[in-house]
Amino acid sequence: MQDYGRLIKFEFILEKGDKKKKVNKKWYAPIIAVGFFLTPFIAHAASNDTFTQNDGDVHYNWGYQSPRSDISADHFTGIFNQSKQLSAGDYFVHTLADDRIKVSFNGTPVIDRWYDAGGQIDRALITNVKAGTYKLQTNFYENTGQAAVFSDIVPFDHWLAYYYPNKNLEGYPVDAKVIPPTGTEKKLFQNNGIGSPTPKVPADNFSARYTTVKRLPAGDYIIRGKVDDGIRVFIDGQLVLDRWGSGWLQEDARKIHINDGTAAWAFGKTNQTDTHLVEVQYLEEGGNSQVDFQIEPYSEATKSTSWLGEFYNNKELKGDAVVIGGANSSEKLNTINFNWEDNSPHKAISNDNFSARFTKVDKFEQGEYLFTAKADDGVRVYVDNKVVIDSWNASNGETRKVKVPLSAGEHKITVEYMEQSGKANLQFDYKKSPGPFSQTGGDVHYNWGYGSPTPDQTEDDFTATFDQSRQLAAGDYFIHTLADDRVKVSFDGKQVIDRWYDVPGQIDRTIVTNVPQGDHKIRTDFYENSGQAAIFSDIVPFDSWLAYYYPNTNLAGYPVDAKVLAPQGDTKQLAENNGIGAPTSKVPADNFSARYTTVKRLSAGDYVIRGRADDGIRVFIDGKLVLDRWGPSGFTEYAKKIHISDGTAAWAFGKANQPDTHLVEVQYLEQTGQSRVEFSIEPYSTVQNSSTWLGEIYNNTNLQGDPIILGGNNALQKIEKIDFNWQNGSPSPFISNDNFSARFTKTEYFEGGDYTFSAKADDGVRVYVDDQPVINSWEASNNGTRTGKISLTKGNHKLRVEYFEGSGLANLSLDYYIGQPYETLDLRKPSKVTAQEIDNYMSRRTNGTSPLIGYGQAFIDAQNKYGVNALFLASHAILESGYGKSLIAYRKHNLFGLRAEDSDPFGLASYFNTFNDSINYNASYVRAYYLEPGDWRYKGVTVKDINANYSTDTAWATKIANLMEEIHPYNRSEYDGVNILPKNNEPVMDSHQLPKDIPFTNYAANTKGQITKTTDEFRTEPYPYGNNKKGTLQQGTTVDVLRKDPNNWIEVRIGDQTGWVQATDLQVDPLNGKAIIIDPGHGGVDDGHAGINDGITEDAVVLDVSLRVRDLFNQKSPFKVLLTRETDSRPGNTASESLQKRVEFAQQNNGDIFVSIHANGFDGTAHGTETYYWQSRTAGNPNTEESRVLAEKVQGRLVNAMETTDRGVKDGDFYVVRENTMPAILTELAFIDNPQENEKLGSEYWRQRAAEAIYSGILDYYEWKGINVSSYRL
């Protein structure tokens, strides 16, 4: 078409079939003005090629077809009258045409594209439209090919939708419509469900283009799309969001920046300020179809009361951001708690080198708030755009906290985050600060580490107040604190500790003396600055012990718990015995350490400190280390003599220090196993005045300095006798093997007379009595014997032995005795000594600890039976056995050392069942071989004569005579004219034939026991007089029971530890938790068989017998016994249910055997006892053999006890024996309807005999099973 002024020349081509013919005929037609257009008036019949429409939508996609059948598919025109009433506002005109299009608005052209283009979209803006009716016309021309025209005038913010029957917006729309905006955000929202948006569009696999124009001032915005399935968003033609693919209502949001003037290309000359073209492209694949899109100012989005998150693909928070959360998000972000590890927060964001910003507005009450941020890497926090946390650097998940005062009302919170590389995480929270932590009453023992007192408290920069006011007894107190960081303590309003500056874990102390009894106000104030936090504050009476416990073996760090221990005993000692447990629930049972602190009044002078520990111990007096034994050890005592001077504790208490006030600290190490520590400090003078020896060992040869202490009052191991053989060792771990010296002192009662002192030493020795020298041999010696004599008056005398060791072997022994006529006494003559004299002497010399106390009469009985002087026998036993306390004497009851040869004294020594046996054998042995002529051992009848062939110790006779004199002083008149006792002619067994092995009683494998009371008598061997304690066993401890020795000690195992305990402290469970089930038959409404003349009934008889059986087991044995019924009641409602309940009871209570007790009945003539068990057939109780033996044992005992006819052991198809899962029997005691047996069953005497028979029969069964029941027998 060519325009020739006011005429238009037309040329055209005719088509017919598949032929085309160019027509050269030309028409020239005048132009008729129609509105803005020049609408061609075509001559001839041109109206047949024009499609006209008045009103309605212009949404046509004719493809290669025509609008009507009378219009050709090409070279036709369309005239669309779209005049309508419009509301006031702004509009955009939007067309899509193939080929040409023009749009006029009230006669004004707004779109004029009168040239061919395949599906081009054209737009124009019409703004400030007033409400009214407007003429709108669209003119369209189709040249050739496809034909489509879409023309709409759309209000700003409304959405023009084009729909395509494919998934990639290909071709031309098949339909269109205008969708009003939704909500205040004027968003796009279309929910098609599983249907389609219009009938022309398929329900699945379609796409759509939604277009609108919005007034958007330049600035930042949040675009948010939630669609099922894919979405793209263009702002002014720029792609700002692209997620094209399947997705189930997935929300995508971005922060973008919009500049003004970027839409000019879209609207041409009609473009206006702040006007922007928004296009949303949508993909629907299958299932539900929904699109939800909005755009909102960023400034408004940040006012959200939930978090708005922004993620940037850089570390500088620059550019457009991926957005999560926000007020309009379907997925609210209520917390900031992310752990992305090595990943990123979004697929559009890199794993490393990204940043984020989170913003919200929250309403606050007035107050102080704790803001906590934990990030890997950097983090910044703002409140109302003011930075409160600024840590914009790489970090490994550190926590940052700050307190911020806030006014009441709304405040904007912003969190910025930066990730460099590696792990990525961010947590942030804020909460109102609870204020200072306060506590009234209770202990102040807190180690919060890097934490805080409560979850609401900051880990740093917090305060705490503790009201420790309490009632105090009159006396002296010390206040002791450990604090990280600051601490103050006031006592009755006076500041006594004031360290208000930061120090990590410093201990501060003061003393408060002459405190009157009554209520006192005590307050501790604490402040934590940063780092670790700990506060321990105690007010402790003098001599009480403040314990700090550490979960390691070197007192490292701060305590995990603390407590105050009351002093024990006259020496006000420290004593804590944890057994195999822990001192508190916060402390491990093994591998811990402790610090015990006290303050004591100690006048200047010499003291003995004693530390006993399993394992290690250190002691400090006024800060000076005085005892150090740090390492693994059994419960061992370490003691030392020290000198304490006044004024050495001033550094510990400052101005509060007073005379004779000293700080004592005991450090303790526990590694594994038993845990026990004891410590005492006592004046040297009180330790020295001991009836047993006090030893002082010096690390030099001149008795100088502070010695190590052995023995003495309150010692764990007393020194009863000086008889040491250190060989190449030393007396103590603190003492060298060579070049040491020692002093031993004691006070002893002596009978008046002339005494000989005999000392053997390698090397030098001195002996003093009442400071008078008796032996003085201060020179090197090879174990030579030195003697001295002294006359002593009757009464107490002070003994002192001094010793030095040069080099090589080291040993020391001392004996002293009085020369008496007893040495020449005919030992065949009887003594007038009484049993009480012997016992009293034993008790006096051993402080009541000798096991021979009470055996005085045994020596007299042996004298009378075998003809040997009782006083000699007693003295002989004392000398050889150490008052019965030697290892051989105690464990083998061998009081005289028979067969205890030097190569293996204990192993070869003879064994006697009792002390009495030992006394009697020795009496017969001495009389037969030493006091009667004819044997090579006979040398005469006196002690001196026996000495020749009995002992290599030349002083043996003198020692014996001395003991005889001490027990019962010699009186000639008691022996003058007294006849010799006759010899007992019974044969005497050769001592070589005596047994030497101790007869242990072994328990069955897997026997268990339980400690009945807490005891420290847990020893390495069954011997109570040695230094062989392993530790303490707590009440209730379960142990494996191994064997028993004749002295009533039982060997047990706990874990990997084996040791011995006294039988009185152990309850043995031979059945390892299982029980003997006794089943009294019948009961309740079921009387069973009846006796004669409505007398006794079966259920009453068997219940009484069953209760008696239980009582016997409870009184005589450790076996656990349970009854299926204990009263006149029947388990279950019916007979069959009762049987089931009885079996269930046995099984549920872990029964080991089941014994059902009944009484028989028939016609009054039958009699006797019978017992049944289940002889296994194909099912039922599998314990046939055990059941048979149990039945036989019980049956045999019952027949003998009841004196009834033995009706035998039989096969019984009874429910309780058939259906049980343990050895089970049913016994019929006798026939209750038989007159004679009825009388027995009605008698308490015969019922007790029946119970004892059943008891014994069960024991017989367990003995057959291999359990030792000998001590449980009747």
Helix, coil or strand: residue 1098: helix
pLDDT value at position 27? 39
Q: Is the dihedral of CA 1028, 1031, 1033, 1039 positive or negative?
A: negative
CB 544 within 8 A of CB 598: yes
d(CA 158, CA 551): 72
Q: What angle do CA 640, 644, 645 make, to 5 degrees?
A: 160
User: Which pair of structure tokens corresponds to residue 924?
Assistant: 């017969």
Give the DSSP H/E element, type plus range, for residue 281: strand 275-284
CB 714 within 8 A of CB 762: no
User: Which pair of structure tokens corresponds to residue 1268?
Assistant: 């030792």
d(CA 1234, CA 1169): 12
Q: What distance separates the 2 farthest-apart alpha carbons in the chain?
A: 188
Beta carbons within 8 Å of 372's beta carbon, 6+ residues apart = 399, 400, 401, 427, 428, 429, 430, 458
Q: How many CA atoms lie within 13 A of 221 on its CB side?
A: 20
**Phi and psi angles of residue 222, each rounded to the nearest 5 degrees, phi first:** -110, 120
Q: Is the dihedral of CA 1257, 1263, 1264, 1265 positive or negative?
A: positive
Q: Is the dihedral of CA 937, 940, 945, 948 positive or negative?
A: negative
Helix, coil or strand: residue 49: helix
- Can you spell out the DSSP letters for 1257-1273? HHHHHHHHTT---GGG-
Give the DSSP H/E element, type plus range, for residue 1115: helix 1098-1116
Q: Which amino acid is at 506?
A: Q
**10-residue stretch averages of pLDDT, the chain, 1274 residues long:** 37 38 40 36 50 95 94 95 96 96 95 93 95 96 95 97 97 96 94 95 96 94 93 95 90 92 79 91 94 93 90 94 89 92 91 95 92 93 96 90 92 96 94 88 95 84 94 97 96 96 94 96 95 97 98 97 95 94 96 97 94 95 94 91 87 80 96 95 85 92 94 86 92 93 93 86 95 94 86 94 95 81 90 96 93 97 96 96 95 94 93 96 95 91 87 86 89 87 92 94 85 90 89 90 92 92 89 91 92 86 96 91 94 89 94 96 93 80 91 96 95 92 96 94 95 97 89 88
User: In degrees to the nearest 10, what's the CA dihedral of 126, 131, 132, 138?
Assistant: 20
User: Which pair of structure tokens corresponds to residue 908?
Assistant: 């070869």
Which residues does residue 1160 pair with via DSSP β-bridges, in sequence order? Answer: 1231
d(CA 396, CA 1034): 47
d(CA 129, CA 113): 23
Q: What is the DSSP letter of 962?
A: H
**Residue for token pair 């473009």:** 271
CATH architecture designation of domain 47-155: Sandwich (2.60)
pLDDT value at position 15? 40
Per this entry, what is the length of the chain? 1274
| Domain ranges across the chain | 47-155, 303-432, 441-680, 694-818, 828-970, 1001-1068, 1075-1265
User: In degrees to the nearest 10, what's the CA dihedral of 827, 831, 836, 840?
Assistant: -50
pLDDT value at position 240? 94
Give the DSSP H/E element, type plus range, for residue 258: strand 250-258
Helix, coil or strand: residue 772: strand
Beta carbons within 8 Å of 1093's beta carbon, 6+ residues apart = none
d(CA 566, CA 971): 55
H helices of 666-799, in order, are: 684-688
**303-432: same fold as 47-155?**
yes
**Phi and psi angles of residue 612, each rounded to the nearest 5 degrees, phi first:** -125, 130
Beta carbons within 8 Å of 1172's beta carbon, 6+ residues apart = 1191, 1209, 1210, 1211, 1212, 1214, 1217, 1225, 1226, 1227, 1228
- The CATH code belonging to domain 303-432 is 2.60.120.260
Q: How many CA atoms lie within 13 A of 1108 on its CB side?
A: 20
d(CA 511, CA 1160): 83
1205 alpha carbon, distance to own chain's centre: 64
d(CA 717, CA 1027): 7
What kind of fold does domain 828-970 have according to CATH?
Answer: Lysozyme (1.10.530)
148 alpha carbon, distance to own chain's centre: 79
d(CA 282, CA 241): 12
Listed residue (459, 669, 463, 448) closest to 561, CA to CA: 448
1075-1265 sits in which CATH class? alpha beta
pLDDT value at position 820? 65
d(CA 48, CA 148): 19
Beta carbons within 8 Å of 524's beta carbon, 6+ residues apart = 444, 465, 466, 468, 481, 487, 488, 489, 535, 537
Listed residue (1255, 1152, 1272, 1271) closest to 1197, CA to CA: 1255
**Phi and psi angles of residue 887, each rounded to the nearest 5 degrees, phi first:** -60, -45
Q: What is the DSSP letter of 1004?
A: P
Helix, coil or strand: residue 327: coil
Q: What is the pTM of this model?
A: 0.51
Q: Which amino acid is at 1137?
A: E
What kind of fold does domain 694-818 have according to CATH?
Answer: Jelly Rolls (2.60.120)
Beta carbons within 8 Å of 490's beta carbon, 6+ residues apart = 496, 521, 522, 523
d(CA 400, CA 414): 15
User: Which pair of structure tokens corresponds to residue 730?
Assistant: 């030393």
Q: Which amino acid is at 238?
A: Q
CB 674 within 8 A of CB 614: yes
d(CA 743, CA 799): 10
Q: Domain 1001-1068: give its CATH superfamily.
A: SH3 Domains (2.30.30.40)
**Phi and psi angles of residue 589, each rounded to the nearest 5 degrees, phi first:** -75, -25
d(CA 566, CA 543): 8
pLDDT value at position 1178? 59
Helix, coil or strand: residue 1096: coil
pLDDT value at position 1061? 95
d(CA 59, CA 151): 7
Q: How many CA atoms lie within 13 A of 313 on its CB side?
A: 10
d(CA 259, CA 235): 10
Listed residue (1198, 1200, 1260) closest to 1227, CA to CA: 1198
Q: How many CA atoms lie within 13 A of 1103 on its CB side?
A: 18
Sheet (strand 50-54) strand order: 50-54, 76-81, 136-142, 100-105, 108-113
Strands (E), 949-1034: 1001-1002, 1008-1011, 1015-1019, 1029-1033
